[in-house]
Amino acid sequence: MTTSPKPAQRTVADPLDVLHTRTSVKWSLYPADVLPMFVAEMDFPLAPEIRAALAETISRSDTGYANALSSGLPEAFSAYATEVWGWAPDPSLMRTTTDVSVVIVESLRRLVRPGERVIINPPVYPPFYDLVEEAGGVVDEVPLLDDGESFSLDLAGIDTALRGGARGVLLCNPHNPVGLVPSREVLTELSRIVAKHGGFTLSDEIHAPLVHTGVEFTPYLTVSEEARAHGIAAESASKAFNLAGLKSALFVTAGDVMSRMVTGLPDEVSFRTGHLGIIAARTGFTESRGWLAGTIAAIEHNLSVLESALADQLPAARLRRPQASYLAWLDLTELGWGDDPAAVALERAKVALHHGPAFGAPGTGHARMNIACAPDTITEAVTRLARAAV
One DSSP character per residue, 24-44 reads SHHHHSS-TTSEE-SSS---S
How many C-beta atoms surround the C-beta of residue 348 within 10 A?
Answer: 14
- pLDDT tens-place string over residues 268-278: 999 999 999 99
Yes or no: say if 324 and 179 are a contact pair by the CB < 8 Å rule.
yes
What pLDDT is recorded for position 217? 98
- pTM for the complete prediction? 0.96
**Domain boundary assignment for the chain:** 16-46+289-389, 65-287
**Distance from chain centroid for Cα 143:** 18
- pLDDT tens-place string over residues 210-226: 999 999 999 999 999 99
Fold of 16-46+289-389: Aspartate Aminotransferase, domain 1 (3.90.1150)
Tell me the mean pLDDT in the region 165-194: 98
Angle at 254 between CA 252 and CA 258, to 5 degrees: 80
pLDDT at 8 over 90: no
Tell me the mean pLDDT in the region 160-189: 98
What pLDDT is recorded for position 192? 98
Lowest mean pLDDT among 6-10, 120-124, 157-161, 277-281: 6-10
Q: Assign 317 to helix, strand or coil.
A: coil
Q: Is the dihedral of CA 215, 221, 168, 184 positive or negative?
A: negative
**Distance from chain centroid for Cα 248:** 14
Q: What is the mean pLDDT of the chain?
A: 97
Q: Determine the Cα–Cα distance for residues 248 and 238; give it in Å rounded to an integer.
A: 8
What pLDDT is recorded for position 80? 98
What pLDDT is recorded for position 69? 84
Q: Assign 152 to helix, strand or coil.
A: strand
**What is the C-alpha R_g of the chain?**
21
Yes or no: say if 151 and 145 are a contact pair by the CB < 8 Å rule.
yes
**The CATH number of the domain covering residues in 65-287:** 3.40.640.10
Yes or no: say if 288 and 361 are a contact pair by the CB < 8 Å rule.
no
H helices of 21-119, where?
25-28, 48-59, 73-85, 100-111
